[in-house]
Amino acid sequence: MSQFEMICHKAGLKVTPQRRQIYQMLTEAKDHPSAEVLFQRVRGVFPNISLDTVNRTLLTLAQVGAAFVVEGSGDVKRFDGGLSPHQHFKCIKCRRIIDFHYEPFDNIEVPDEVKGRFTVFRKTVYFEGMCKECGESA
């Protein structure tokens, strides 16, 4: 929680009880929840919180580096509170997102053609495919 507070203070954000709860539930989640899923969980603690508040908070946390949007295609935005280096695999059948860590992916080089045209803030590795369980049941 101290890392979260430090990131918020550095970004000029107040550490409200709602932000703290959203962040805590996000970091405890193993399923990379959408804003809607996290909203349902947070309502157990803050019954009057709105989906818009949860969604805006998640987007703000991603903007300041306290969380990440898990990139992908064809699905709602999913969020990750894990700040340690890791990558993602998403099953296109069951929609699970699984964390994995392959150290060589931590230091991917930015190609010169990209360096010359863009400022890169974040590099990610994301795989889509079918998990073992879904592959065996197909």
pTM: 0.85
92 shares a domain with 42: no
User: Do 67 and 80 form a contact (C-beta atoms < 8 A)?
Assistant: yes
Domain ends where: 54, 78, 102? 78
Question: Do 90 and 59 lie in a common domain?
Answer: no
Domain final position from 55, 78, 101: 78
pLDDT of residue 48: 97
Any idea what the CATH number is for the domain that residue 118 is in? Answer: 3.30.1490.190
Q: What are residue 87's DSSP bridge partners?
A: 100
Name the residue with tokens 């962040």: 23
Residues 6 and 74 in one domain: yes
Residue 123 pLDDT more than 90?
Answer: no
pLDDT at 3: 86
Query: What's the domain range around 117?
Result: 84-137
CB 97 within 8 A of CB 90: yes
Confidence of residue 138 (pLDDT cuts 50, 70, 90): low
Q: How many domains does the chain have?
A: 2
| Residues 89 and 45 reside in one and the same domain | no
Judge whether 66 and 83 are in contact, CB under 8 Å.
yes
Q: CATH no. for residue 18?
A: 1.10.10.10
**74 and 90 fall within a common domain:** no
**Spatial separation of the C-alpha atoms in residues 10 and 67, rounded to whole Å:** 15
The single-letter DSSP state of residue 48 is T
The residue whose two tokens read 């998990």 is 131
CB atoms within 10 A of CB 51: 14
> Does pLDDT of 17 surpass 90?
yes
Tell me the pLDDT of the chain averaged across its residues.
92
Do 10 and 52 lie in one domain? The reply is: yes
pLDDT at position 2: 85
120 shares a domain with 62: no
Which of 27, 47, 78 is the last residue before a domain boundary? 78
* Alpha carbon distance 99, 103 (integer Å): 13
pLDDT tens for each residue of 51-64: 999 999 999 999 99
Q: Is the pLDDT of residue 73 over 80?
A: no
